A = this chain, B = another copy of it.
Amino acid sequence: MDEDATLTNFKVLYVVTQLCGLTMIILVSCWVGIHLGGVGGTANPKLEFNWHPLFMTIGLIFLYGNSILVYRGFRNVRKKTLKFAHAGIHLTAFVLTVIALITVFDSHNLPVPPIPNMYSLHSWIGMGAVIVFGLQYVAGFTAYLAPGWRQALKVAYMPLHIYFGLFGFVLAIASALMGITEKALFSISDYSSFSSSGVMANSLGCLYVIFGALVVYLVTEGSYKRKPLPEDAVLLTGVNE
């Protein structure tokens, strides 16, 4: 396939991915708003919890995915700008993730009696995803932005940065699927009779999977790789993504 056709394919899939991501955010908002009673503050821990799926979907799935897509999605922007965008979107994702964690811990700690924390597989795998994400952020920031590691180390770390970046992303999605499963079993009393709330929750889960599969495909397919621009030469590291 020639280069133009390849790039056209990429663009079509990129647009589909974004539409899928936006639908995912709309759907989680509708689920929370229509079926889970909306969101609330610390005065109502049950409604405060509802920020958790909303902010995790926006932060740890949609923004996380878009941050790793930024190099290929905006391939004509110079590398340095893309690095800042990558770090900036990830930072936004991290802030939303922290808020999402606070709301879920509040929703366990504020009721009387409190609900135990960190007992479920969802919480273990989800916390694992957040830790992988956080460590990657620190390592990626120090390696490629400031102060910058030695050239040989930068090059050696890049495949691991990519691998663990995608690992954390897939882990976040797996964790979201378990989160939906938990919330559906706890809160949807007629889940087993295909109620609208249950079908909506399952559809949201399917969208997470489709969004994740598209993001992983777009960032791993060799022919979609961004080629270095002439302006990139000043910070050329021998590793171009």
Q: Which residues on A are within 8 Å of B, measured CB to CB? A: 115-116, 119-122, 124-125, 128, 159, 163, 167, 170-171, 173-174, 177-178, 180-182, 184-186, 191-194, 198, 201-202, 205-206, 209, 213, 217, 220-221
> Bound state CA distance, A217 and B220, in angstroms?
13
Structural contact, B205 and A121, CB atoms closer than 8 A: yes
Select A177's contact among B177, B185, B192, B201, beta carbons within 8 Å.
Answer: B177
A/B interface sample: 30 pairs, CB < 8 A? A115-B192, A116-B192, A116-B193, A116-B194, A119-B192, A119-B193, A119-B194, A120-B181, A120-B184, A120-B202, A121-B177, A121-B181, A121-B201, A121-B202, A121-B205, A122-B181, A124-B202, A125-B177, A128-B206, A159-B221, A163-B217, A163-B220, A167-B213, A173-B174, A174-B209, A177-B177, A178-B181, A182-B185, A185-B185, A220-B220
Q: Which 10 A-B pairs have the closest CB atoms?
A: A121-B205, A174-B174, A121-B202, A116-B192, A178-B181, A119-B192, A181-B181, A185-B185, A124-B202, A121-B181
Q: Using Cβ atoms and an 8 Å threshold, which residues of chain B touch A213? A: 167
A194 to B192, CA, bound (A): 27
A191 contacts which chain B residues (CB < 8 A)? Answer: 119-120
- Determine the distance from Cα of A74 to Cα of B125 in the docked complex, in whole angstroms: 32
CB distance from A117 to the nearest CB of B (A): 9
Q: In the complex, are the beta carbons of B209 and A125 less than 8 A apart?
A: yes
